[in-house]
């Protein structure tokens, strides 16, 4: 016949195993993350080479993005958020028009940017600290894109991953000198 000590020891071992399993599973899921798309890495590269990121010594940056293929007929617009804080409640948003003039090349044309903070009182939960060019209509578009990005995965990309040059992409920006 089992004694109280034996039953207690058996239960404690089972509970300890269950807790250990939960910690291992929780730890693995906390670090598991989807790989960023090449589209996002290329966009980050263009933003970097055009000096769109604030000065930082960070070895990795956290991004979110949304590709809009419906709002502008015949155009693909990529919205990229570079989160400024680990809490991801503020950051920089960029509008990048994607062009494919030749089959083997893709142009990333940076059209706009703004600094934002998530807030309950703003447009779609977004308040612009440094508003974008283009007024209310542009703010509405960017805020809507940020709202969609907030519902998607975030990607932490090491800076070294977007430093290399890819000959299949060409970067342009509204800050480029006029030709």
94-117 pLDDT, tens per residue? Answer: 999 998 877 778 999 999 999 999
* CA terminus-to-terminus distance, the chain: 92
145-173 tens-digit pLDDT: 999 999 998 899 999 988 887 888 999 98
Give the pLDDT confidence score for residue 22 in this predicted structure.
43
Q: List, for residues 47-92, the tens digit of each pLDDT value.
A: 999 989 888 888 999 999 999 999 888 899 999 999 986 667 899 9
Sign, CA dihedral 166-77-62-49, equals positive
Predicted local confidence at residue 26, as pLDDT: 39
pLDDT at res. 4: 54
CA torsion sign, 78 to 79 to 83 to 87? negative
| pTM, rounded to two decimals | 0.78
Of the ranges 31-35, 37-41, 99-103, 130-134, the best mean pLDDT one: 37-41
Cβ–Cβ under 8 Å, residues 45 and 162:
yes
For residue 142, CA distances in Å to 61, 74, 89 come to 20, 19, 15
The C-alpha R_g of the chain, in whole angstroms, comes to: 23
> Helix, strand, or coil here: 12?
helix
Q: Where are the domains of the chain?
A: 1-32, 36-173
């Amino acid at each position: 016949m089992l004694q109280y000590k034996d039953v207690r020891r058996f239960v404690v071992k089972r509970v300890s195993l269950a807790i250990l399993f939960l910690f291992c599973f929780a730890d693995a899921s906390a670090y598991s993350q989807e790989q960023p798309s090449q589209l996002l890495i290329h966009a980050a590269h263009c933003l970097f080479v055009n000096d769109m990121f604030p000065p930082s010594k960070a070895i990795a940056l956290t991004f979110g993005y949304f590709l809009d293929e419906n709002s502008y007929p015949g155009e693909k617009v990529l919205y990229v958020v570079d989160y400024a804080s680990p809490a991801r409640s503020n950051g920089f948003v960029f509008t990048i028009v994607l062009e494919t003039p030749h089959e083997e090349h893709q142009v990333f044309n940076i059209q706009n940017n703004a600094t934002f903070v998530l807030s309950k009182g703003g447009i779609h939960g977004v308040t612009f600290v440094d508003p974008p060019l283009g007024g209310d209509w542009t703010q509405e578009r960017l805020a809507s894109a940020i709202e969609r990005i907030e519902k998607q995965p975030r990607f932490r990309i090491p800076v070294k991953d977007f430093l290399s040059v890819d000959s299949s992409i060409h970067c342009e920006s509204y800050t480029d000198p006029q030709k």
